[in-house]
Amino acid sequence: MASLSSNLLFIAFILYLVATPFYGGAIKSKKELNENKGTNKWGVIAVALTIVGFIAQLGYFVTRWIASGHAPVSNMFEFTTFFGMALVGAFIVIYFIYRTSLLGLFTMPVALLVIAYASMFPKDISPLIPALQSYWLHIHVTTVAIGEAILAISFAAGVIYLVKAIDQTKSSKRTFWLEAVMFSLIAVLGFVAVSTIFSASGYHETFNWTDKHGKVNVMEYTMPAITGPHEGELLTKEGFKPLVEMPAIINAKKLNTVIWSLMAGLVLYGLIRLVLRKRIAAGLKPLVKNINLDFVDEISYRSVLIGFPVFTLGGLVFAMIWAQMAWSRFWGWDPKEVWALITWLFYAAFMHLRLSKGWHGEKSAWLAVIGFVIIMFNLVAVNLIIAGLHSYAGS
């Protein structure tokens, strides 16, 4: 069953990958107009491939649930994979509401990056730790992922708006920050690249280290240790000696992975810029030349309008109920809890500025992009680097 589950996930990934260029063909067709409900053969093929891929990934989710005996959202591989599936599902729903293929060209690459990112984590099925042995695991975690996936659609629409609206003929703060967003996506690809390279080479080194409770543990690295564990002792002969030793509150191994990912991202970004001979956003601009900005702005806003209450339920209400049941307190200022609150406050401010202050158009698009950056910071940095009660999510 576990083998079937992995195969279904791989099939879904390939179908999403194949579908992406068809979305490009769809938006280049003059028959695909943003304001109408029409479509074309390229769009039909793209959406059909996406739906089949989504069904395959849903099959992965069900078969892994059967094999493990619990909802497969208990570690980084499972949660991030489910997040990618929810993102594709949210796109499919939005597509049938607005009948535009434009979002697919920007949403599917993000979904592919998310699933590829997930695939770099351990995929073994393991028993749930006591803190996760609750039906609230299914309710809380899946609702959070679905809410964040819907909010991610707002990010895709926001990026489309900014690529179209920002003048790329001259450098400015707007072009700089938009390019920074493009780099952050490429950094995820960098993570996949370095993880694959070091895994293929069989790189491995081991440290003894002292955690924040003063207990000595063993930590295994699969990449050269730029950042080493607290009071770490390198056990591997001829291993790479860390350049910096991190305090016990920081997960040095996973911070090391983030640093390697950023370095690989810089290399990939440089190569892409060398090929394009222009900013990445400028290279994407011809793809959005015929879009209607008001139409994209509406999609972005409505995605937040739907995603925000779903995230509120999963990230705050259900989370606090489960926390009371598991730890006998509704709130504990754990790093994950704090960033869930920051995410909620940001999108609450988004709604306030949109409705009360009239922040439409480009301002709203920037808010959608910043919101997704906060979500990804929560997923990557808080899960992987900062130790806390939710550290099991980084396994």
Q: Which of 244, 277, 310 is the last residue of a domain?
A: 277
Q: Which residue, among 212, 202, 220, 213, has the nearest Cα to 256 in the 3D structure?
A: 220
287 domain residue, yes or no: no
Q: Report the domain count for the chain.
A: 2
- On whether both 21 and 157 belong to a single domain, the answer is yes
- On whether both 22 and 162 belong to a single domain, the answer is yes
Q: Distance between CA 148 and CA 90 in Å, rounded?
A: 10
Extract the residue ranges of the chain whose pLDDT is less than 70: 1-2, 27-39, 129-132, 212, 326-327, 381-395
Q: Rounded to 5 degrees, what are φ and ψ at 390? A: -95, 15
218's enclosing H/E stretch is: strand 216-221
Residues 256, 225 contacting (CB under 8 angstroms): yes
β-pairing verdict for 227-228 and 244-245: parallel
285 domain residue, yes or no: no
- pLDDT tens sequence across 199-209: 888 888 888 87
**CA 291 to mean position of chain CA atoms:** 26
284 domain residue, yes or no: no
86-99: b (≥16 Cβ within 10 Å) or e = bbbbbbbebbeebb
62 domain residue, yes or no: yes
Which alpha helices (DSSP H) does 69-172 contain, by range? 76-98, 102-118, 136, 142-165
Q: Which of 245, 277, 309 is the last residue of a domain?
A: 277
Q: Rounded to 5 degrees, what are φ and ψ at 206? A: -125, 140
Check residue 333 and give its pLDDT.
Answer: 73
Q: Which residue, among 77, 71, 58, 78, has the nearest Cα to 8 in the 3D structure?
A: 58
288 domain residue, yes or no: no
Tokens of 55: 């069904």
286 domain residue, yes or no: no
286 DSSP 8-state letter: G
- On whether both 327 and 300 belong to a single domain, the answer is yes
Check residue 41 and give its pLDDT.
Answer: 81
3-state secondary structure of 18: helix
Q: Which residue, among 277, 270, 265, 261, has the nearest Cα to 227 in the 3D structure?
A: 261
Residues 393, 75 contacting (CB under 8 angstroms): yes
In sequence order, what are the residues at sequence separation of 6 or more whose Cβ sits closer than 8 angstroms to the Cβ of residue 280?
A: 179, 182, 186, 269, 272, 273
- On whether both 259 and 302 belong to a single domain, the answer is no
- On whether both 311 and 373 belong to a single domain, the answer is yes
Domain coverage including residue 317:
2-168+294-394
In the block, which residue shows the tokens 């995603």? Answer: 307
- On whether both 139 and 43 belong to a single domain, the answer is yes
Q: Which residue, among 277, 325, 310, 357, has the nearest Cα to 90 in the 3D structure?
A: 310
- On whether both 103 and 48 belong to a single domain, the answer is yes
- On whether both 264 and 375 belong to a single domain, the answer is no
Cβ-based neighbour number of residue 324 at 10 Å: 12
Measure the N-to-C terminal CA separation of the chain; round to a whole number of Å: 22
- pLDDT tens sequence across 238-254: 778 888 888 877 778 87
Rounded alpha-carbon distances, angstroms, from residue 243 to 212, 224, 380: 21, 10, 22
Q: Distance between CA 167 and CA 174 in Å, rounded?
A: 9
- On whether both 133 and 193 belong to a single domain, the answer is no
In the chain, what's the furthest Cα-to-Cα distance? 66
Global pTM? 0.84
CA angle 101, 120, 269 (to 5 degrees): 60
Q: Which residue, among 127, 178, 150, has the nearest Cα to 285 in the 3D structure?
A: 178
- On whether both 348 and 204 belong to a single domain, the answer is no
Check residue 24 and give its pLDDT.
Answer: 77
Residues 117, 257 contacting (CB under 8 angstroms): no
336 domain residue, yes or no: yes
Check residue 33 and give its pLDDT.
Answer: 44
226 domain residue, yes or no: yes
Q: Which of 277, 306, 329 is the last residue of a domain?
A: 277
305-316: b (≥16 Cβ within 10 Å) or e = ebbbebbbbbbb
Q: Distance between CA 291 and CA 380 in Å, rounded?
A: 32
Check residue 2 and give its pLDDT.
Answer: 65
- On whether both 262 and 310 belong to a single domain, the answer is no
- On whether both 79 and 94 belong to a single domain, the answer is yes
